[in-house]
Structure 1
Amino acid sequence: MTTSTAGRSATSEEAAAGGDDGPEPTGGPQPAGSTAPAGARVPTGSLARLAQGLRTVGSRSYWTTPRLVRGLTALSLAALIGLGATATAVLGGARDGTDTIGHQAAPQATRAADLYFALSDMDAQAANLLLVGDDPDYATLRKQTLDTYEQRRNQADDDLQKAAQSAADDPAGQRAVQLVLGRLGSYEALVARSQLLEEQAKAPAGQPSPAALDAYRQASDLLRNQLLPAADQVTAANEATVDQVYGQQRDALGTGWWWLFVVGLLALAALVGLQRVLAVRYHRVINPALAGVTLLTGVALVTGLALVGRTSDHLVTAKSDAYDSVITLSRARAVAYDMNADESRYLIDPGRAAVWEQAYLEQSEAIVHFDGATLGTYNTRLQTAVDGHRQNRSNVPFGGYLGNELHNITFTGEQDAAERVLGAFQEYQVIDHRMRDLRAAGQLKDAITLNTGLAKGQSNYQFGQLSSAMQETIDVNQKAMDSALAATDGDLDGSTAALGGIVLAAALVLTALGVRPRLREYR
């Protein structure tokens, strides 16, 4: 039996309080000072016992030293467990949300945009095959066009297989993918029929046979009215998932930071209170074990809050700064290839020339938008806007995909890459206008050569520059997105969870070990 001063003091305190576990009266006469009316009946049953228990627990005499130590110890242990549970919930949810955004929905959205691009370029190559015809001057170009068509067809098949796998839990996405799968074979059959009829007719450049043109029209209408909208639906569905999960995670991380902060402060307050009781009632300056737990808890709290803050920052970087630009530019590239196909359609199908001109304008407006622009005024307005932007890069006097990107410049090299996209797009529009002038002047073969040529100053060369600049800008953002996701994966991997579990277990054990010797003095 311990005979220390602290032990004697505690024993005296217990005796004055009537013992540690001594029974309290539950009935009998009203105590002195009671405000109950004379002759009032004392409540009986469960309610009476509850009221009596609350009065007992609330009395100062009830909280003897061992009871106070046990209560604060229980509170400290509960707060530590709550801190661990809160950190697990907040950081685990952030890890799952980041995984959904970065490794599922975002790649699926960009893959669907890539499908749109592959389908658009397939149709552009099919139009170019009719455009060059049987003209020997374009024999090399015809072979290159056939090779590109096959390459895009394989790319579309691969994208479709991946889209079908990723849409397993999305009924709307499944329907869209199934529509593309079902109709793509019909499209390819119509294109093959168009090519066969063209070869049989041995038509000159820019003048396909009526039968070949009719087959191509059916194929192009099928693509534009069914395949491309379905591919765009898959993209939009995944974009919506990214936006939804991002919004939820941003809110959860903001709320979770405060929950972690409050629960962490509660744990620290309980530990400090416990140490103070031990110091005052046992006349000890410090309890080494509890001091270690307090320090460990403070470090864990600061680390947890920092992880939540870092995760939130990485999430903003990955989604708002990088992914938004990736998907915007991926859509822009897909639309650009459809726009490029509209040029060839315009040349081979004079009966629908007005339709293809309007389609070309709409695709151009999707990339760089001006309110109220027409095909006749578009180039002038674009030139004015480009000149103004070059004088002041913060001035972006247009909308569309490229306007959105120039408003979201974040990373090193992104501004210059986006400027190259704008310059290449503006030059491409100039060449397109020149091609239409040649066609209007009756110089069809010159217009075809300008449209299909790969030399500098010709349309397909310039379109290649535009496509490369878009891809370069996508790559800058994709690299930043991958880096932010990798940083989050590193912060919230299994080793972090294991370390957190070890820290929590150590804190709980140290708390028990720090209190146990003091409580043993009362046995």
Structure 2
Amino acid sequence: MTITAGTTRAPKGVGAEPRQPAVVPPEGDNGSRPRGGPRPSGRRRYLRRETVAARAALRRRYWATLPARLRFLRAVTVSLTAALALLLLLAGQAATGTWDSVADRDAPRTTSAADLNLALNDMDAQAANILLSSGNAGQGRLVTPYDKAIGFYGAARREIGHDLRALAVAAQGDRADERTVESLTDGFAEYQELLGRALENDGHNGGKAAALADYRRATDLLQQHLLPDARALVESNDRAFDGRYARARSGLSAQLVAVLALGALLLAVLGLLQWCLARRFHRVLNPGVLAATVCTLVAVVLGAQLLSSSAADLRVARRDAFDSVVALSRARAVAYDANADESRYLLDPERRDRYARSFLAKSQQLYGVKGATPGTYDDGLAATWKAYRDDRNDLRFTGEFRRELDNITFPGERAAAEKTVDAFAVYQRDDRTIRALLAAGKEHEAAEFCMGWEPGTSNAHFGEWMAALDQVTGVNQAHFDSSVRQGRSAVGVLLPWAGGLLLAAAALTALGLRPRLAEFR
């Protein structure tokens, strides 16, 4: 048998070496590996590939399939709804706290300090009127002025005690105000003692000189210590109120922006959810998601209205109304002090020049006429006031009345403010009459005209002036109270509606998606 050379095949499974598959190194690897494992660069690439794979798996699980996308959008919708509801709840609580602070603390503290300032001036004026009208131990007494002065003196003293107690409570926690109230309380006790001695001495025959000496010490204490402290309390409380107002307005603005941004994001997610449903199920709209979108839109509008109206009401309460209340309260306190200067002028001949200058300075505080003297003030007042009545943009004068006329906001306020200045001008002319009578040697007639309450006398005109001032103050106080009520009402009405609509939106979204998700089970 001849054996032919050539290629022979071994039987399968017999004598054949098993073929090993080729080992392909990872991309960028030449196949050689150092001892201890893969090179660092290879490990990083391996970890990167694992991360990408994990992310891909998450996408497939939470987004790649339609049920996953629907569940994800449902979770986002509920989360945004809860966040928006929480934001509105916190904003509503903050607004409620602001209104409570404004109505129950900030405004009362400021007005109490202003009332204290006024009551101190009134008490001192009535003490001067008592001494001026009492005669000599009751002989030659001006009965009506004396009786009225006694009544007003007691009322002013009670008002001061009430205001000091209120301010002591309000000052707790503010060490500077606490010290001021303590100083006022101690000073007022000394002041009462001096006035008490003056009135006691005045009751004795020939005791007028001793009474006047005690009254001088009392009024000096008032002017140098008590009134500056009272005015400092007015300014301190007003500044604190203004600071809280600015912070509250800033907070409301920031909350409004956040509500609008969060609401727009929630509406966008609901729109995307509606689009996904329409594309997959070939339906134009999903009723549940549509209803949730409408509820969300209305809730966002109500929340924005709540915050914007709160900011507007707060501005009206503080800037339009309370700024005028403070200015007019200061004006009233200054008016009572000026009225006291007239009585002091008649009571104390040695200090008449001093009290005349003081009366002019206080008149300038109320209605400032540039360069005016006691002899030229009336003409300056008449000229500048006529210029204003001809052109209401012509405000050449300064002072508290100018501050009020610059802040006219409400119906009826301008007429009341102009009436106040007209009454002030009449009272100023009465002061010249008093001085003219005194210069003519008619001291008794001057005192009767100064303290009389019959029509046409100085006190009667002063009462008309204060009634006009009270009227314009009342206009502003009424609008302050109205703004507080509206602000509180907006929170109480709009916040529950907005919160309820957001809860309904979350529930409607879940109900709208439930039958669609059930199709995939």
Who is 1:274 aligned against?
273
Q: Which amino acid aligns with 1:112?
A: A
Report if aligned partners of 2:88, 2:499 keep a CA contact under 8 Å in 1.
no
Pairing 1:253–2:257 present: no
Who is 2:32 aligned against?
none
Match of 1:145 among 145, 149, 152: 149
Report if aligned partners of 2:198, 2:215 keep a CA contact under 8 Å in 1.
yes
Pairing 1:228–2:227 present: yes
Pairing 1:101–2:102 present: yes
* Deviation larger for 328-337 or 60-69: 60-69
Who is 1:87 aligned against?
88
Report if aligned partners of 1:431, 1:457 keep a CA contact under 8 Å in 2.
no
Who is 1:113 aligned against?
114
Pairing 1:303–2:299 present: no
Q: Deviations over 1:115-173 (max 9, x none)?
A: 11111100000111121231525023212211110011111111222222222232222
Q: Structure 1 length normalisation: TM-score? A: 0.87
Aligned residues: 484
Report if aligned partners of 2:274, 2:289 keep a CA contact under 8 Å in 1.
yes
Q: Deviations over 1:339-372 (max 9, x none)?
A: 1101111121222222212221221111112333
Q: Deviations over 1:276-301 (max 9, x none)?
A: 11111222332211111100001111
Who is 2:508 aligned against?
510
Report if aligned partners of 2:325, 2:473 keep a CA contact under 8 Å in 1.
yes
1:410 Cα deviation after fit: 1.2
- For 1:29 and 1:311, the matched residues in 2 are separated by 67
Match of 2:499 among 485, 498, 501: 501
Q: Structure 2 length normalisation: TM-score? A: 0.87
Shift in CA distance, 101/46, structure 1 to aligned 2, threshold 3 Å: farther
- For 1:46 and 1:117, the matched residues in 2 are separated by 81
- For 1:361 and 1:404, the matched residues in 2 are separated by 19
Q: Deviations over 1:368-398 (max 9, x none)?
A: 1233333332222111111112222333221
Who is 1:438 aligned against?
437
Report if aligned partners of 1:117, 1:334 keep a CA contact under 8 Å in 2.
yes
Who is 2:77 aligned against?
76
Who is 1:394 aligned against?
393
1:225 Cα deviation after fit: 1.6
Root-mean-square deviation (Å) = 2.5
Match of 1:169 among 173, 180, 201: 173
Who is 1:426 aligned against?
425
The percentage of counterpart residues that share the same residue type is 36
Q: Which amino acid aligns with 1:488?
A: G
SS at match of 1:436: helix
Who is 1:189 aligned against?
193
Pairing 1:340–2:339 present: yes
1:100 Cα deviation after fit: 1.6
Report if aligned partners of 2:129, 2:149 keep a CA contact under 8 Å in 1.
yes
Report if aligned partners of 1:438, 1:444 keep a CA contact under 8 Å in 2.
yes
Report if aligned partners of 2:341, 2:358 keep a CA contact under 8 Å in 1.
yes
Report if aligned partners of 1:131, 1:344 keep a CA contact under 8 Å in 2.
yes
Q: Deviations over 1:408-451 (max 9, x none)?
A: 11111111111111001111111112212222333222221221
Q: Deviations over 1:283-331 (max 9, x none)?
A: 2332211111100001111111122222222112111111111111011
Shift in CA distance, 281/111, structure 1 to aligned 2, threshold 3 Å: same
* Deviation larger for 336-345 or 231-240: 231-240
Who is 2:319 aligned against?
320
1:508 Cα deviation after fit: 1.7
Who is 1:16 aligned against?
none
Report if aligned partners of 1:56, 1:62 keep a CA contact under 8 Å in 2.
no
* Deviation larger for 455-464 or 413-422: 455-464
SS at match of 1:376: coil
Report if aligned partners of 2:99, 2:484 keep a CA contact under 8 Å in 1.
yes
SS at match of 1:492: helix
* Deviation larger for 73-82 or 424-433: 73-82
Question: Structure 1 residue runs of 4+, over 4 Å off?
Answer: 28-31, 44-62
SS at match of 1:412: coil
- For 2:94 and 2:291, the matched residues in 1 are separated by 29
Q: Deviations over 1:456-507 (max 9, x none)?
A: 33211111111111111111111111111111111112x5444333323222
* Deviation larger for 424-433 or 443-452: 443-452
Q: Which runs of 5+ in 2 are unaligned?
A: 1-24, 29-39
1:42 Cα deviation after fit: 4.7
Who is 2:5 aligned against?
none
